[in-house]
Structure 1
Amino acid sequence: MNTSSPRAESREFDSGQFRRALSQFATGVTVITTRLADGSFRGLTASSFNSVSLNPPLVLWSLGSQANSLPIFSGNSHYVINVLSADQAYLAERFSRRTDNPFGGVEYELSRTGQPILKGASAWFECHNRSRYPEGDHVIFVGEVEHCEFRDQPSLVFHAGRFSSTQSR
Structure 2
Amino acid sequence: MTTGQQPTYWIEMIEIDSVPRDEAHLRQAYACFPSGVTAVCALIDGEPVGMAASSFTSVSLDPPLVSVCVRNVSATWRRLRGSSRLGVSVLAEDHDMACRTLSLKDGDRFAGIAWESGPDGVVLVNGSAAWLVCSVREEVPAGDHVIVVMSVHGLQTDFGAAPLVFHGSRFRRLAEF
Q: Could you state the TM-score of these two structures normalised by the residue count of structure 1?
A: 0.88
Q: How does 1:68-79 map to 2 (within 5 A)?
A: 68-79=75-86
The match for 1:88 among 67, 74, 95 is 95
Aligned to 2:52: 45
Q: CA deviation at 1:140?
A: 1.1
Alignment root-mean-square deviation, CA: 1.7
Q: Give the total of aligned pairs.
A: 160
Q: Deviations over 1:55-110 (max 9, x none)?
A: 11000001100111132122222111111101110101110112332223421122
> Structure 2: where are the runs of 5+ without partners?
1-5, 8-17
The match for 1:118 among 101, 121, 125 is 125
Are the equivalent residues in 1 in contact too, given 2:132–2:154 (CA < 8 A)?
Answer: yes
Q: CA deviation at 1:16?
A: 2.0
Say which one has the larger Rg: 2
**Other structure's SS at 2:81 match:** helix
Aligned to 1:4: none
Aligned to 2:15: none
Partners of 2:116 and 2:28 lie apart in 1 by 37
Are the equivalent residues in 2 in contact too, given 1:49–1:60 (CA < 8 A)?
Answer: yes
> Structure 1: where are the runs of 5+ without partners?
1-8
Are the equivalent residues in 2 in contact too, given 1:111–1:126 (CA < 8 A)?
Answer: no
The match for 1:97 among 104, 112, 119 is 104
Q: CA deviation at 1:136?
A: 0.3
